[in-house]
Structure 1
């Protein structure tokens, strides 16, 4: 009789957005920084809070609440920026996400993660990797490659007039 080895738990960083707790896979997290004033960039989607200099690299910072269709985050004492690696191809892009507070790293086994409900939440279904019960509350596990899709965010940053001109130029050629 073959013995199956139990799956190793995966680690997730839990954080606060408003009254809700979310988590993302810790393997994508590079560092956590105190919030400091960012440089705004014109003609960006509302969820792009600004950019910051991270040791010589310009890193865009998104307001995760706005990206998830919630009201903008208020900058509070515990607000911070979580730096993640995003994208599927090398070199991967660093992106910061503004959150209300970071809690802790938690370990979850695959058996602890349930599929996201088909109704009752205000997030796009492709943003949710699953749901888990943790410390008497449910947390949503985010699929950060979807939430931080560089291709999707780039397409949202182009002003419609520029897109129309580009499409017209392609049609004329």
Structure 2
């Protein structure tokens, strides 16, 4: 058994999850690695009329039409130019219409980390003016705070509906 396989077995036994981490500006975010379908370099998308501003458009990935969301715009962060480091993470999400792939544009991918379940703290409550329902929790990893995202809550029916019914 390789060291990597042994580490994965140990992580599962310890109640931890592997998370793909990525950056938006100076902040680090994480998503469950089991939801990641692929990581692609930035490429232009086909725009969809009347889509929400954070939905950049769609890409044709091996015959599947995949909606692409700019997470900077979704989180109301300052716009950044797309660079050679900008990537699209293709994720599998559970939506009201079933499981579906979508892509999120991020500044860059960091690494895969193990996060122990007991190291995850709940997102703080900020009242009605700040929405945190898409944050599964926060974890301190190697001296940095990682926001763990609930991608099913993050994307929601408005985004998956746009890609499946462009005329709407």
Q: TM-score range by the shorter chain?
A: 0.7 to 0.9
Structure 1 residues 127, 110: CA separation in 2 closer, same or farther (over 3 Å shift)?
Answer: same
RMSD over aligned Cα atoms: 2.7
**1:102-142 CA distances to partner (integer Å, 9 max, x unpaired)?**
0111001111111112249x962101100000121111101
Q: Residues 73 and 99 of structure 1 are in contact (CA less than 8 Å); yes or no, is this contact kept in structure 2?
A: no
Matches within 5 A, 1:92-103: 92-103=99-110
Matches within 5 A, 1:91-170: 91-119=98-126, 124-149=131-156, 151-153=157-159
1:33 matched to 2:40: yes
Can you give the 5+ residue segments of structure 2 that lack an aligned partner in the other structure?
Answer: 1-11
What's the counterpart of residue 22 of structure 2? 15
Can you give the 5+ residue segments of structure 1 that lack an aligned partner in the other structure?
Answer: 164-173
What's the counterpart of residue 92 of structure 2? 85
Q: State the SS of the aligned residue for 1:145.
A: helix
- Structure 1 outlier segments of 4+, above 2 Å: 5-8, 71-74, 88-91, 152-157
Q: Residues 63 and 72 of structure 1 are in contact (CA less than 8 Å); yes or no, is this contact kept in structure 2?
A: no
> Which stretch has the larger CA shift, 64-73 or 44-53?
64-73
What's the counterpart of residue 7 of structure 2? none
Structure 1 residues 48, 68: CA separation in 2 closer, same or farther (over 3 Å shift)?
Answer: same
Q: State the SS of the aligned residue for 1:153.
A: helix
Structure 1 residues 119, 156: CA separation in 2 closer, same or farther (over 3 Å shift)?
Answer: farther
What's the counterpart of residue 51 of structure 2? 44
